[in-house]
Amino acid sequence: MELCMDNSSSIQSNKNGFQIHIERDSSIIYKTPNSDPNVSNGVSAFITQEELDRFQAVWWSPTSTRLLYERVDETSVRSLMFVCPGREAAPPMKYPVAGTDNAISQLRIIMIDGNAVVDCGLKEPLKSRFPWVEYIARAGFLNDGKTVWVQVLNRTQSQASLILLPESEFEGFRSTGPILNASIVKNEVSSAWINTHNSIVPLDSNISTIEFIYAIIYELLYYRSTRRYAMVMRPSNYETNRCYPVLHYIYGGPGIQLVRNDYSTWIPFQKYTKLGFVVVMLDGRGSSNRGTDFEFPIFGKLGQCEVEDQVEGLREVAQIMDGMLDLTRVVVQGWSYGGYMSLLALAKYPQVIRGAVTDWKLYDTAYTERYLGYGEDRDPFYEESSVIKHVDKLPDQPGRLLIVHGLLDENVHFRHTEALIEQLIKAGKPYQLQLFPSERHGIRSSDGAAYLDASILNFIQQALKE
C-alpha cells in the first residue's frame, strides 16, 4: 500500500499486479480495468527491476490529485520454463533473452477529483514520438503536480534523455490555457553506454570548507600504462619469508567495485586467511567508479582485457609482496560475472590458475546489449565473448574446475550451465558440478551457505595438492 501526500487516498495492487486499487475512506473508488495475465499495472517490468534498479511504478503528484503509473505489456516477451527434477514445473517466466523483444511500457495518469476518477493514457505513445526509446529508467512529477518528467534510454543504453510531459499530452485533458508539448530538456549520448545517474548533488554550492579529512592509502598497480587497484589479505598465521597459497577472488565486470576501504568486503574471506591463504582482489578495466575511460575498454569485448588485467595484476601483486604469494598454487573463485571471469581465466591462463570455482553467466537484453550491442552485426562480439569458444583450452586434468549453480536461479538460468556442460563433454574436459535445488542467484539459506563453503574449501585443498 502507498499513501498519497495528504493521506486522503491510498493505492495497492491486487495479488498478481494486474490492477491498481485506489481507496478513499476505506472504500475502493477505482480499479484499473485489466485481467490480461501478460499486462500489469503499477508493477515495473522484470528487466527494469533487474538492470535499471527501478522497482517503483506508481508516483503520486505533490497535490495528491494525480497518480502516474506504468502499464507493462509482456505479450511479446519470450516465456521460459524452469524445471527442477523431482518437482512440479514452475509457471512460465517472461524473460527477454538478448536479441529478443522487451516488454512494452506505457505511462498513464489517473486524475482524482473527490470520488471522481479518470484514467488517461498518452495521446501519442513515447515510442511513437521518440522511436529510439526502449526503457523508462525513472519518472515522477514536477512540483507543479501536473507536469510529468521521465528519464528514458535507447535499447543499447548509449542515449539517455530527460523528457517533460505536460498534462496536455494525456487524453482527457481540458485546456484552460496555452497547450504545451512534450520536450527533451536534457540529452546525453555516449560512444559506449550511459550509467544511470543516482548520485546526490547538493543544490547549495556554497558549502563550508572541509578543514580535515582522514587519509586512506591505496596500493596502485600499473600495467601497460593503466592504473589498476588491488587489495591483499594476509594469512592469520602470516610470517615473513614464507610463501602462501592464493585465493584470487574475481568479479571484474561492470557495475561493481571490489577494492574499497570497507570492512564488510573482507569478512567473507576470513575463513580463507584463517586457513593460511593469501586472498587477492583486483579491479581492472571495466570495473566501476573510476571513470568512463576505465570502464569503457570492455565495450564490445567482454571477457578480454578484464581477464588480462586480473592475471597480469596478480603477477604484479606477487612482485610487490616480495615472495609472499605462491603463484604455483592459485585458485580463482567468482560468482555471477566473476564466475564467467573464472572460467575464462582458467581457460586462457591454465599455467597460472590451478583451479576455478564458478557459476555460469549469460544474461538478458538490457545487461548484455549494454556491453555487447544489439543487432546481427554484433554477432561476432557475442561469439568472441562466449566461454563456449574457449572450452577446448580448459585443463585436461581432473579436479581443476568446480561449477556451482542454484536450480531456482531466475537471473542466470541453469540452461547456460547445461550448454557449458554439453561442450565440456564434447571436448572431453573434466569438471565437478555442485547443484543447489532450492537456491536462486545467491545462496540464501544458512545450510546452503555452510555446505557451499565446505565444498569450496575441500575443492581448493584438493586442487592445490602437490
Q: What percent of the chain has pLDDT over 90?
A: 28
Q: What is the pLDDT of residues 157-179, one digit of tens each?
A: 889 999 999 988 999 776 666 65
Tell me the domain boundaries of the chain: 2-189, 220-463
Domain 2-189 has CATH 2.140.10.30: yes
The Cα–Cα gap between 344 and 348 comes to: 6
Whether 220-463 and 2-189 are alike in CATH topology: the answer is no
Bridge pairing between strands 220-223 and 39-41 = unpaired
Q: What is the pLDDT of residues 296-345, one digit of tens each?
A: 887 887 878 888 889 988 998 998 888 899 999 999 998 888 888 898 88
Q: Is the pLDDT of residue 385 over 60?
A: yes
Q: What's the pLDDT band for 354 if we cut at 50, 70, 90?
A: confident
The Cα–Cα gap between 400 and 16 comes to: 45
Instruction: Please give the pLDDT value at position 216.
Output: 38
Q: What is the pLDDT of residues 434-456, one digit of tens each?
A: 888 777 777 888 998 899 889 98
Handedness of CA 444, 447, 452, 457 (dihedral sign): positive
pTM (2 decimals)?
Answer: 0.76
Helix, coil or strand: residue 248: strand
The Cα–Cα gap between 326 and 419 comes to: 34
Helix, coil or strand: residue 461: helix
Let me know: does 233 contact 258? Beta carbons within 8 Å: no
Q: Is the pLDDT of residue 399 over 80?
A: yes
Crossing angle (nearest 10°) for helices 305-320 and 337-348: 70
| E-only strand ranges, 290-376 | 325-333, 355-358
Any bridge partners for residue 227, and if so which?
Answer: 222
pLDDT averaged over the chain? 82
Would you name the residues annotated as active-site residues? 336, 409, 441
Q: What's the pLDDT band for 15 if we cut at 50, 70, 90?
A: very low
Bridge pairing between strands 148-153 and 244-249 = unpaired
Q: What is the pLDDT of residues 358-381, one digit of tens each?
A: 544 345 667 777 877 777 777 777
Q: Which CATH architecture group holds 220-463?
A: 3-Layer(aba) Sandwich (3.40)
